[in-house]
Structure 1
Amino acid sequence: MAEAAPYDVVIIGAGPGGYNAAIRAGQLGLKVACIEMRDTLGGTCLNVGCMPSKALLHASELFEAAAKEFPKLGIEVGAPKLNLAQMMSQKADSVGALTKGIEFLFKKNKVEWVKGRGRIAGPGQVEVTAADGSKSTLSAKNIVIATGSEPTPLPGVAFEDGKVVDSTGALSLPAVPKHLIVVGAGIIGLELGSVWRRLGAQVTVVEYLDRITPGMDSDVAKAFQRALTKQGMSFRLGAKVTGAKSGKDGVELTVEPAAGGAAETLKGDVVLVAIGRRPYTEGLGLETVGIEPDKRGFIDNDHFRTNAGGVWVIGDVTHGPMLAHKAEEDGVAAIELIAGKAGHVDYDLVPSVVYTAPEVAWVGKTEEQLKAAGVAYKTGKFPFSANSRAKINHETDGFVKVLADAATDRILGVHILGPQAGEMIGEACVAMAFGGASEDIARICHPHPTRSEAVRQAAMGVEGWTMQA
C-alpha cells in the first residue's frame, strides 16, 4: 500500500495563530492539517481567554450600569439581582458558537482537524496522541509550531481550585468573592479584577513594580490607575508576594516591599495569580529537530523560520507581543512565505487594548521609549471631558495622546484612555501603516458627535490648534 502523500503544512495548535494559519493555507491550495489537543478549536483565546473574559466584562458592565447609571438617566428598574449561573451560561453559549464557527471555516477551506496532542518526532514528522492513547504520525513538508502560552506560576504560591486560581479559574468562579486579591497589575489581572469588582467583590491588586500595566505609556498608566481607584479597586505597588497559606476561610498572602522591608499578611477568599504568560512547549519534541528555546522558553526565528529546516514558529511561543491578533498576523505571514509569497508583520504597528471601563488602547511608541531613543517629538492631547459624545454619555474619564516626529510630523504613537478606545485605535494603525502625519488625521473630517473626534482634536494639538478644549 502506497504511503499517503505528505501534507504541505501541519500546524500544531488551533489558537488564533494556528487556526488562521490553517485557513490561509487552505485558501492558497495547500494540503493542511491542524492538530489541537482541546476538544474544541480556538485555543486559549476563544476557550478560556479573550472571548469568555469579554463576555463577562460586557455583562458586568451592564450589571453595574443598571445599578449606578440607569437612575441618573431616568430609568427606574430597581436594584438589579445577579444570576451568576446564567451569566456563566451565556458566556459558555457565546464561546461554543465561536468555536463551532471555526469548525465551519475549517470545512469551508479544506483544513483537516486532527484531534490530539501533537509532538514533533523528527524532520517532517509529527506524532499525534489521541484522547484514547492511540498514536498516529503525519508526514509534513512544513511544520508550524503554534502552541501558544500558559499562565506563569508564582514561586511559593501553589494553585488551588477555587482559592488560588489562574486566569482560567477566575473566569468560572462559582460565587462572587468577598475579597479578591489579584497578584499582577497587567492587562489580564486588571480586566478580571474589574469583572468581579463590578459584581460586588472588594479587589486588591498587588504589583511588584511601582506602576501598573508595564509597557503602557506612563502618563496613561497613572490616569488609568486613578480611574480604577475611583471605581473602588485598591493597589499595593512595589510589593512582592512571597508565600500563600490557604485555610477554610480563605487565603493568606505574605507580602514584602519589593525594595526590602518587613513582611505583612493580606487575607482574601480568592487569589488570582496573573503575573504573565510563558510559551507552551512542554513535550513538543523540539529536541528531535535541534531546536532549543531560550531561557524564558521562547523559540527564536528569522521571518518565522526556526533553525530547523521546514519548521516554523508563530504567536506566543516566539518573540513579539503575546496577543491574539499578533498571532493571527504571524500565522498568515508564515503561510504566505511557505506558499512563496511575501509574508510580513510590522510589530511596531500591533495595537494593545485593555478592555476595562474606561478602555485603554495604544499603538506605536510611548513617550518613555522616544525619550530613551533620543527622538525629538511633539505631543497633542485632548480630554474626553471636552468631547461632546463622551459628555452626553457620561463617560468623560481619559484622554487621547498623539506623538509625532518633531521634524517630519510622522505619527510615532497614539494612546487612548477612554470609551471605545479599542475600536478607535484602528484609525491610528491605518494612518501609521501608511506613514501618515498628525496633520493627516487633523484635517480629515470626522463624524459629529462621536468619540473619534477626540482623536482628531488630539492630532490638531500636535501643531497647537486644538479647537474644542
Structure 2
Amino acid sequence: MNTYDVVVIGSGPGGYVAAIRCAQLGMKTAIIEKYATKGGTCLNVGCIPSKALLDSSHHYEDAVKHFAEHGIELTGEVKVNLQKMMERKASVVEQTTKGIDFLMDKNKIDSYQGEGSFKDKTHIEITNEKGETETIEAKHSIIATGSKPSSLPFITIDKERIITSTEALKLKEVPKHLLVIGGGVIGLELGQVYKRLGAEVTVIEYMDRILPTMDSAQSKELTKVLKKQKMKFALSHQVTSVENTGDEVVIKAKDKKGNEVEFKGDYCLACVGRRPYTEGLKAENAGVKLNERGQIEVNEQLQTSASNIYAVGDVIKGAMLAHKAEEEGVFVAETIAGQKPHIDYNLIPGVVYTWPEVASVGKTEEQLKEAKLTYKVGQFPMRALGRSRASGDIDGFVKILSDATTDEVLGVHMVGARVADLIAEAVTAMEFRASAEDISRMSHAHPTYAEAVKEAALAATENRALHI
C-alpha cells in the first residue's frame, strides 16, 4: 500500500494547486481525479471553455459590427462556423488540462484516476472505471471535489433542450431563442455568447436586478449595455414550470404582480447556481460532517471535523470561484506544513467576463449602508478616457468607496474593457490598506483604461477628478 503525507481528492484549481504547494513544501503528495482529464469544472466545463467561446464570439461580433468603422472592409458574407469554434474551444481546454499533467509530473506528484472514497480517516479507496479498487494511506487529506450545476425541483434537465452550462458549451447549433433562467455570471456570459452568434436571448431572473450580489450600480450599467445589445430581461419573475414540448421549451413564470407570464424558445439554459459535490466520497466513514446545504463543515484553518482532513473550494462555504479555491489550496498546504498563512475573504475579487467586463472587490455600497458606515464615493466614466475612445469601448465606470474618516478604500467596483485585469490594482491597494488619496497620487500610464482607477480615486478625494 502506498503511503503519502498528503492526498488530494479532486484536481480542480483548489486541488491541483494544493497538491503543487504541498510538493513544494517537501511533502510526499498524491492527487486523485475521477475523470480522464484534470482541471475540474473550471478547466473542462467552466472558466476556460466559456472564455474561449466569449473571445471567439467577440471576434465575430467585431467583424460584423465594428470592422467597418475602423476602415476594415470585408468582401463577402461573414459566417459563423460553430463546429470550428467548438473545436478551437476544445483545443484550448486540451492544452490547459495537459498543462496540469505536466505540473504534476514536474512536482513529482503521484496521480490516480478513479473515484476516491474514505474507508476511514487515513485510508482512501480508489475505484476506476472498470470497477477495480486500490487503497492508499494518507497522513493528511484535502477534499477538493468541487460543485455541480443546481436545478429547481420542477426542472428536468434533459441535456437536449433544457440544458445546464455544461451542455451550453457544446451546442451543435446556434439557438433561435435561448431562454436563460438566472441573471448571474454564468447565464449572462453564455447568453452573450449566443446573442453575438445570432440567437435571441431572454434572461428570466427572480430578483429585481441581474448580478444581485454585486454593487447595484454595476447591475444597472450592465443591464443598460446588454439591452443596447438587444438582450431581453424579465426581472422579478419567479419561474414555476419548464416544459420541453419537442422542438420548443415553454417556461411559465409569475411576475411581481402575481400574473402568469409565458416564454417560448428552442433552448432553455438553467443557471440557478451550483451545489457542492460530495457524492461517492463517503465522508461519514472518516467522521467528516456536512451542513444542511451539503457543504463540508470547516473551521478557520479549513480543517474538517476530522482533524487530519481539510476541504477547499466549492465544496465548502463561500463564493464558488476558482481563484478562491486556489488561495485555499495554498493556505491548507502551508497550514499542514506548520506555517501561518492567511486569507482575507473580503479581498477576493469577483469578475463577470461579459463585454464590457464587470469586476468587484471589497464592500458594495449596499453593504456599507447596511453596516451604517459613513463613506465617500468616487466614480469616473470610461467614456471620458482617451484610451476608451480610441478602442471604442466607452461603456462603464470605475467606482471607489472609501471610509469618510480615514479615507481607507473599502470597495472598488468596475464595469468596462479589461476590468477583469484592472481589479488586481484595487486588490493590491486594499491588501496594503491604501487610502483613495494613495491611489490618486500613483502615476498611471496614459492612455490606458487604468487611468479610470486614478480618476475615481481623485473623485473620492475631495471630488477632484481631473477629466470630468
**1:78-89 pair list within 5 angstroms:** 78=75, 79-89=77-87
Shift of 1:290: 2.3
Match of 1:430 among 418, 425, 428: 428
- The answer to whether structure 1 residue 467 and structure 2 residue 447 are counterparts is no
1:15 counterpart residue number: 12
**1:273-292 pair list within 5 angstroms:** 273-292=270-289
Contact conserved, 1:157 with 1:242, CA < 8 A, in 2? no
C-alpha separation in 1, matches of 2:327 and 2:380: 31
Structure 1: any 5+ residue segments left out of the alignment? none
C-alpha separation in 1, matches of 2:144 and 2:378: 39
Letter in 1 for 2:466: M
C-alpha separation in 1, matches of 2:305 and 2:115: 23
Q: Deviations over 1:143-200 (max 9, x none)?
A: 1110001100122110112200000000011000000000000000000000000000
1:395 counterpart residue number: 393
Letter in 1 for 2:93: V
Q: Deviations over 1:354-387 (max 9, x none)?
A: 0000000010000000010111111100001101
Contact conserved, 2:407 with 2:437, CA < 8 A, in 1? yes
**1:7-406 pair list within 5 angstroms:** 7-78=4-75, 79-257=77-255, 259=256, 261-302=258-299, 303-406=301-404
C-alpha separation in 2, matches of 1:288 and 1:343: 29
- The answer to whether structure 1 residue 415 and structure 2 residue 413 are counterparts is yes
- The answer to whether structure 1 residue 458 and structure 2 residue 456 are counterparts is yes
C-alpha separation in 2, matches of 1:298 and 1:71: 51
C-alpha separation in 2, matches of 1:147 and 1:277: 13
Letter in 2 for 1:352: G
Q: Report SS of the residue matched to 1:54.
A: helix
Shift of 1:88: 0.3
Contact conserved, 1:335 with 1:343, CA < 8 A, in 2? no
2:438 counterpart residue number: 440
Shift of 1:320: 1.6
Contact conserved, 1:155 with 1:242, CA < 8 A, in 2? no
C-alpha separation in 2, matches of 1:120 and 1:238: 44
Contact conserved, 2:210 with 2:223, CA < 8 A, in 1? yes
TM-score by length of structure 2 reads 0.98
Shift of 1:243: 1.3
Contact conserved, 2:121 with 2:287, CA < 8 A, in 1? no
Contact conserved, 1:12 with 1:36, CA < 8 A, in 2? yes
Contact conserved, 1:291 with 1:307, CA < 8 A, in 2? yes
Q: Report SS of the residue matched to 2:465.
A: coil
Letter in 1 for 2:465: T
Q: Report SS of the residue matched to 2:341.
A: coil
Q: Quick check: 241-250 or 188-197, which moved more?
A: 241-250
C-alpha separation in 1, matches of 2:26 and 2:128: 27
Shift of 1:345: 1.1
Q: Deviations over 1:276-320 (max 9, x none)?
A: 111101121111122231121112211110111201010011112
Q: Report SS of the residue matched to 1:23.
A: helix
Q: Report SS of the residue matched to 2:119.
A: strand
Q: Report SS of the residue matched to 2:84.
A: helix
Letter in 1 for 2:114: G
C-alpha separation in 2, matches of 1:297 and 1:218: 30
The CA RMSD measured in Å over matched residues stands at 1.0
Q: Report SS of the residue matched to 2:242.
A: strand
Q: Quick check: 361-370 or 148-157, which moved more?
A: 148-157
TM-score by length of structure 1 reads 0.98
C-alpha separation in 2, matches of 1:333 and 1:456: 32
C-alpha separation in 2, matches of 1:460 and 1:150: 43
Shift of 1:260: 5.8
Q: Deviations over 1:108-140 (max 9, x none)?
A: 001111100111111111111011110111110
Contact conserved, 1:180 with 1:193, CA < 8 A, in 2? yes
Contact conserved, 2:289 with 2:304, CA < 8 A, in 1? no
Q: Report SS of the residue matched to 1:329.
A: helix
Letter in 2 for 1:468: H
Contact conserved, 2:24 with 2:107, CA < 8 A, in 1? yes
